[in-house]
Structure 1
Amino acid sequence: MVQHAVEWHFNPPHASHTGSAWERMIRSTRTILKALAREQLLTDEKLLTLIAETERILNDRPITPVSSDPRDPPALTPNMLLLMKSNTSIPSGIFKKEDGYSKRWWRQIQYLADTFWKRWIKEYLPTLQTRQKWQRETRDVQVNDVVLLVEDKVPRGQWPLGRVTEIIEGRDGHIRKCKVQSRNSSCVRPITKLCLLEAQSD
């Protein structure tokens, strides 16, 4: 670290608010887990399994592109840094509300993990789309940016990514739509359905 002149900046004690982005994620995660724990009676083993599923969801989110090649949209995730490989969370089945009261506790935890995913996505994605009108200039989406596509019914742990191939301005001169190339297809999306990744939006 010394050879690379790495400079460390630490938060002062008792000032978690200075953590900004990651502290907001911690707060959202804690709030959702508290709500889920109130709904269900969880043993220690069930709670540890739910925490492990939650950890995998959080650490599999894309944070920055790894390649400038337009044909290579996958992005760097915290799991890649921690495990040196991707750890994609693929749900092993479809779980319904009735599973929350199942005698098979594994199905119960999978249902709670799906519920966590749906609630966390609704809180996390808007933090990537902050647009404060007329207050300060913010970075617009540009051609070749890797973006997260906001889809309504995405399975747990799936982060649909695409690369912007064309930007389309509205009559007011601001970007309103983008043509996006995903792994399987090309589509046009409104700017409200696209999110820059964490490292790009900073």
Structure 2
Amino acid sequence: MKQHRAPAARDRDDAGFSLAEVVVTLSVMSVVMVVFTSAILQVYRTSAKSESISITQTQLQLAFQRFDRELRYASWIAQPGQVGTAWYVEYAGFDGSQCGQLRLETASNPDQDSPNDANGVLQWLTWPRATPPAPGTPGRTVASNLVTPDSTGPFERQTPTSPGTSGFTPDFQRLRVRVSAQVGDSVAEVDSTFTALNSSRNTPATNDCSNGRPS
């Protein structure tokens, strides 16, 4: 009589997985995928913020190079001030026929994706001295995603009668511009000082170029 042998261990293993084993495996895989996806998204957000900060810094550096050429030959710089939600400072060109203005608008933007992001926009406006711009005339946008470093505002005029930031008394009017580029928790401050070489200790305190600032 032919005898039947008991099934080997290998044969019994071919029965497959139980439902409980499948459920546990899928649960573990789901947790791993969630953690992995969250990490990728965080890296993407951080990279996007860093890129935005870098772009803003580059815009400001390029703009400040142009400001240096403009303000280096300025004959007068206004006392900076705030009107509404914007900070202003005006200057007169080397011969007084052209005027310029820097304006940092800090009004909130309801369309922002994140309420924690900065929304200040730095604009630059120029005009002939005899024809000041109408109130609300937009300027050329220099950079966005900006905030003021403190309550004193982004602009500081240094005159020959007041010591500069390093303690010495300058012979010319100078304009210090301080703004911070901010996206989320990432912040980068830009601080530059421009010297008006056509100004002096005898430069009048007032100038018609101040008419470009809204009252």
Q: Same fold (TM over 0.5)?
A: no
- Higher RCO, 1 vs 2 (CA within 8 Å, ≥6 residues apart): 2
- TM, length-normalised to structure 2: 0.28
- Radius of gyration: which is bigger? 2
Task: Name the structure where strand makes up a greater proportion of residues.
Answer: 2
Give TM-score scaled by structure 1 length: 0.30
Q: Which has the higher helix share?
A: 1
